Amino acid sequence: MMDTGEGHLVYWERCGKPGGVPAVVLHGGPGGGCTPTQRQLFDPERYDVLLFDQRGCGRSTPHASLENNTTWRLVDDIERLRKMCGFEKWLVFGGSWGSTLALAYAETHPQSVSALVLRGIFTLRKAELHWYYQEGASWLFPDKWERFLEPVAEDQRHDLMSAYRKLLTSEDEEIRGRAAVAWSVWEGETITLLPNEGFATQHRDPSYALAFARIENHYFVHAGWMDEGQLIRDVEAIRHIPAVIVQGRYDTATPVRTAWDLHRAWPEAEFVMIDDAGHAVSEPGILSALLDAVDRFADK
Ligand SMILES: CNCC(=O)c1nnc(C(C)(C)C)o1
C-alpha cells in the first residue's frame, strides 16, 4: 500500500519481469478498481507493469471515501508510484475513465510517458455526461433506464447527477446503498454490445457499487475538476508520444464521437475503430486490438 499522506492508502501490485518494459494500468470508473483481466494484457516476459486501485476503491482505503479524491490528486499518485518503481518513463494504459486519467496525466507529465494505449475515450465534457446520465443512452436502453430512475423522486429527475449526489452522500445507509446499486447496475448492464451477466452481477454487489457509484458521481458532478474540453484542447502537449486509440463503434457509455474528436485533434495517434463492439475491454474486437497494441509497444 502507498500512503498518500492525505488520508488514503493506495493498493498497488507490480507484475511481470523486473527490468522489462515499464507500464502502468489506469482502471475505469472512476471507482472500478483494477482486475486480473488488465494484468493479463501484458506479456509477463516482456513487461514490468504496475496496477493500482485508485483512491477509495478496490483494495484502497478508506472504502468509497470522497475526501481528497480528485483527478489531480490521482495524477500526483501516479507520479509518486512511478518514482517509487524507479522508472524514468512508462507506457500508460487506460480505458474509459482510465483514458481520461491517462490523458490528464500525460498532458501534465509528458516527460514521464513512453507510449499511450487508450480505449473507450472519455473526457467528461458536458455532452458526454448528459448523454449517459440525463438523456441519450436512455433511448437505447429504456427498460434499464427506468430502474436507474427509480431511486430519484420525479421532481428531481431534471438533473439526475445532482439528485444522485444527494442520495449517494445521504446520512441514511439504506438510501445510499439503494442509489449506489441503481447507478452501478445502469453502467454494468450497458457497457457491452450484448448482455453480459458477469458485469451485471459485479455491479449489483453492494460494496463494489458503493465505491463505484459514489466516486463516479463525485468526479462527474465536478467535471473532473477540468475546464470544458480541456483534455482535447491541450492534446498538443502529447502529440509526440506514440499512441494507439481503440474505440468500439457501438460504445453506449463513452460514444465514439469523443474518440473521433480526439483523433481529429491528434492524427499522429493510431486510431482503431472496432465496428462490432461496445464499451468493455472484454469485447472481442477491442481485446484483440489492445493486445496487439501492447505487444507492438513491447517490441519497440
Ligand atoms: C462512465 N464510466 C466509464 C468508465 O470508466 C467505465 N466503464 N466501465 C467501467 C468498468 C470496467 C470499471 C466497469 O468503467
The response to whether residue 191 sits with its C-beta less than 6 Å from ligand 1 reads: yes
pLDDT of residue 192: 92
The reply to whether 96 belongs to the active site is yes
**Residue from 38, 52, 97 to probe ligand 1 pocket by mutation (most atoms less than 8 Å from CB):** 97
Q: Which residues make Cβ contacts (< 8 Å) with residue 137, sequence separation at least 6?
A: 131, 145, 190, 252, 253
Query: What pLDDT is stored for residue 200 in this prediction?
Result: 85
Note the ipTM here: 0.91
Q: Tell which atom from ligand 1 comes closest to the C-alpha of 202.
A: 13
**Looking at ligand 1, which residue's alpha carbon is closest to its atom 11?**
28
Q: Which residues contact 121 (CB under 8 A, 6 or more apart)?
A: 99, 245, 247, 254, 258, 259, 262
Per-residue pLDDT of the chain (300 residues; tens, 9 = 90+): 999 999 999 999 999 999 999 999 999 999 999 999 999 999 999 999 999 999 999 999 999 999 999 999 999 999 999 999 999 999 999 999 999 999 999 999 999 999 999 999 999 999 999 999 999 999 999 999 999 999 999 999 999 999 999 999 999 999 999 999 999 999 999 999 999 988 889 999 999 999 999 999 999 999 999 999 999 999 999 999 999 999 999 999 999 999 999 999 999 999 999 999 999 999 989 999 999 999 999 987
Residue 51's nearest CA partner among 16, 86, 83 is: 16
Cα 54 to middle of ligand 1, angstroms: 13
Q: Where are the alpha helices (DSSP H) in the chain?
A: 36-39, 71-85, 97-108, 126-133, 142-149, 160-168, 173-188, 197-204, 206-221, 230-233, 256-265, 284-299
Does the beta carbon of 97 sit less than 6 angstroms from any atom of ligand 1?
yes
In whole angstroms, what is the distance from residue 259 CA to residue 232 CA? 10
Identify which of 52, 54, 93, 96 to mutate to test ligand 1's pocket (most ligand atoms within 8 A of the CB): 96
Which position among 8, 53, 65, 96 bears the catalytic label? 96
Residue 253 beta carbon below 6 angstroms from any ligand 1 atom:
yes
Sign of CA dihedral 187, 189, 194, 197: positive
Cα–Cα distance for residue pair 118/259, rounded to 1 Å: 10
Q: Which atom of ligand 1 is nearest to the CA of 100?
A: 5
114 is catalytic: no
User: Is 130 an annotated catalytic residue?
Assistant: no
Give φ, ψ of 271 to 5 degrees.
-115, 120
Q: Collapsing DSSP states into helix, strand and coil, what is residue 173?
A: helix
The upper half-sphere exposure of residue 249, i.e. CA atoms within 13 Å in the direction of its Cβ, equals 6
Residue 258 Cα distances to 12, 29, 122, 158, 191, angstroms: 30, 17, 7, 24, 16
pLDDT of res. 284: 83
CA of 299 to the centre of ligand 1 (A): 29
Identify the pLDDT of residue 199. Answer: 87
